[in-house]
């Protein structure tokens, strides 16, 4: 039986700029549609999409990679008008062990814009839930994601990779501090009360004497967050009014079109009489149109600008990288052992069934007229003998890499040596020579 192949296709903050990433960024609803369009029921296929502000990655499991890849490409073009797998320097791809290693590194924060990013583990968990709900995460991907989540948890528990604040939210607040000199007695408008918006608001609230205002499409969510941090609430429809009085604005919503365009920003800048306004847009797709940066009086920073923020804990995290890489390789070996044993399982099962069939046939022939005590003794002895004979071959088969040419040859050789999958030859039947 042909072994399943694990494939990865993606873009991230290292390979592509924010404009390229936002053209491929998917909402949870879009992820679900792409997944259900890509995977054919009953085809032994699986798929998962991890889409965040820093990356869009697709993990596929299939026996016929060419077919599922073609469907994924078509699904992305239909959903976003962009091809995730178009050749070029902005895209990357991996398969099997390399694809699994990449995901494990992502889960630890080694591949994040901010080393050790605390949010990424939740994002990986969320991607798995979307695939489960869509019915596209089978046994393979669930085992793979369980390994990735375990790797991420171990990295945070056993190393200093997560020391200190380590998120897009904390970096955005640090950038504001640098731009403004101090956050004391500053008024900051946070647009968005989702996961990132909440983190930003909490980081701001931890600063001394910062006035935080929350604007969000869902009023109840904004009210709850404002109550938690001791902030104020502004209806999103009154965004212009909030921008007029704020010293800085941080946008972090899931809107698929800009909330702040050049016309709005120009009007705000003129009304402020050139009093500078700092805007940090951490959303992907962007909440602020890029041409807003050209308006006098507006200082616009997007998520890629956060790369320039020097993390106070970076030296500790960098020192932890070798230990995290070791954990990744340990967990990867664990997953690879499972993957190989899974691929070899049908051969091992057929081999054991073959030996069991021979054992029973011989016992039936030899134990005619034997009393029950002797029969039980013979059963135990022959079962032990078969298990000992098959122990080494079983370990050898389970260690075979099923996607390599050598591995495929070894599995096929085992089938041929013991005539597995064929009609068993009965005792006394003629043999070919």
Q: How much is the pLDDT for 374?
A: 84
Contact predicate 97/332, CB 8 Å: yes
Say which DSSP state 369 is in.
T
- With tokens 């790369």, the residue in question is 307
- With tokens 């879009």, the residue in question is 30
Query: Looking at the domain covering 168-308, what would its CATH class be?
Result: alpha beta
Query: Both tokens of residue 388?
Result: 């000992």
Q: Which residues are catalytic?
A: 53
Q: Where in the chain is the domain with CATH 3.30.460.30?
A: 5-164+319-336
Contact predicate 73/23, CB 8 Å: no
Q: How close are the terminal C-alpha atoms of the chain, in Å?
A: 28
Q: Which residues contact 278 (CB under 8 A, 6 or more apart)?
A: 176, 179, 180, 247, 248, 249, 299, 301
Which residue in 68, 73, 76, 70 sits closest to 30, CA to CA?
A: 76
Contact predicate 68/62, CB 8 Å: yes
Which residue in 135, 26, 131 sits closest to 81, CA to CA?
A: 26
Nearest-10 Cα torsion for 13, 18, 19, 22: 80
Q: How much is the pLDDT for 422?
A: 63
- With tokens 């699986």, the residue in question is 46
DSSP bridge partners of 190: 214, 250
Q: Where in the chain is the domain with CATH 3.40.50.720?
A: 168-308
Task: Evaluate the omega torsion of the peptide bond into residue 285 and state whether it is cis, within 30 degrees of 0.
Answer: yes
CATH architecture designation of domain 5-164+319-336:
2-Layer Sandwich (3.30)
Prediction pTM value: 0.66
Q: How much is the pLDDT for 73?
A: 94
Q: Which residues contact 196 (CB under 8 A, 6 or more apart)?
A: 53, 119, 168, 169, 252, 282, 283
Say which DSSP state 294 is in.
G
Q: How much is the pLDDT for 287?
A: 96
Contact predicate 91/9, CB 8 Å: yes
- How far is Cα 383 from Cα 374, in angstroms, rounded to an integer? 14
Q: Where are the alpha helices (DSSP H) in 86-184?
A: 96-108, 120-134, 139-158, 168-180
Q: How much is the pLDDT for 216?
A: 95
Q: Average pLDDT for consecutive 10-residue bins of the chain (433 residues)?
A: 83 92 92 96 92 94 93 94 85 95 97 87 96 96 97 95 73 87 93 92 86 94 94 96 96 94 96 92 94 96 78 76 97 90 72 80 81 86 84 74 68 71 51 38
Edge-to-edge strand ranges of the sheet holding 277-281: 232-235, 211-216, 187-191, 248-251, 277-281, 298-302
């Amino acid at each position: 039986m042909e072994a399943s192949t694990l494939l990865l296709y993606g873009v991230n903050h290292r390979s592509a700029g924010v404009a390229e990433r936002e053209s491929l960024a998917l909402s949870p609803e879009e992820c679900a549609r792409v997944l259900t369009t890509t995977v054919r029921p009953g085809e032994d296929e699986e798929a998962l999409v991890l889409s965040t502000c820093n990356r869009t990655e697709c993990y596929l499991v299939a026996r016929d990679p060419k077919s599922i890849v073609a469907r994924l490409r078509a699904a992305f073009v239909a959903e976003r008008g962009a091809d995730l797998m178009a050749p070029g320097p902005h895209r990357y791809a991996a398969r099997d062990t390399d694809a699994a290693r990449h995901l494990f590194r992502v889960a630890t924060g080694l591949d994040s814009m901010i080393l050790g990013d605390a949010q990424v583990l939740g994002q990986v968990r969320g991607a798995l839930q979307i695939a489960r709900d869509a019915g596209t995460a089978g046994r393979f991907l669930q085992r793979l994601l369980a390994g990735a989540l375990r790797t991420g948890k171990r990295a945070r528990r056993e190393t200093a990779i997560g020391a200190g604040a380590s998120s897009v939210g904390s970096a955005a607040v640090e950038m504001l501090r640098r731009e403004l000199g101090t956050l004391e007695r500053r008024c900051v408008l946070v647009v968005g009360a989702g996961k990132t918006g909440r983190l930003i608001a909490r980081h701001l609230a931890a600063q001394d004497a910062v006035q935080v205002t929350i604007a969000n499409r869902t009023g109840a969510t904004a009210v709850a967050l404002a109550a938690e941090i001791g902030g104020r609430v502004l209806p999103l429809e009154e965004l212009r009014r909030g921008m007029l009085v704020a010293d800085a604005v941080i946008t972090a919503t899931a809107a698929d079109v800009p909330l702040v365009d050049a016309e709005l920003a120009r009007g705000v800048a003129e009304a402020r009489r050139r009093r500078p306004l700092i805007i940090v847009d951490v959303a992907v797709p962007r909440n602020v149109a890029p041409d807003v940066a050209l308006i006098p009086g507006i200082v616009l920073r997007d998520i890629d600008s956060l790369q320039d923020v020097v993390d106070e804990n970076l030296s500790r995290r960098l020192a932890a990288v070798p230990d995290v890489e070791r954990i990744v390789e340990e967990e990867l070996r664990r997953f690879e052992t499972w993957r190989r044993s899974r691929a070899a399982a049908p051969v091992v099962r057929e081999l054991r069934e073959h030996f069991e069939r021979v054992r029973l046939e011989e016992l039936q022939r030899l134990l005619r007229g034997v009393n029950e005590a002797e029969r039980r003794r013979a059963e135990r002895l022959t079962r032990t003998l078969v298990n000992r004979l098959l122990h080494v071959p079983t370990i050898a088969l389970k260690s075979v890499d099923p996607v390599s040419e050598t591995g495929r040859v070894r599995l096929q050789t085992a089938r041929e040596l013991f005539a597995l999958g064929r009609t068993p030859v009965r005792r006394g039947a003629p043999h070919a020579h």
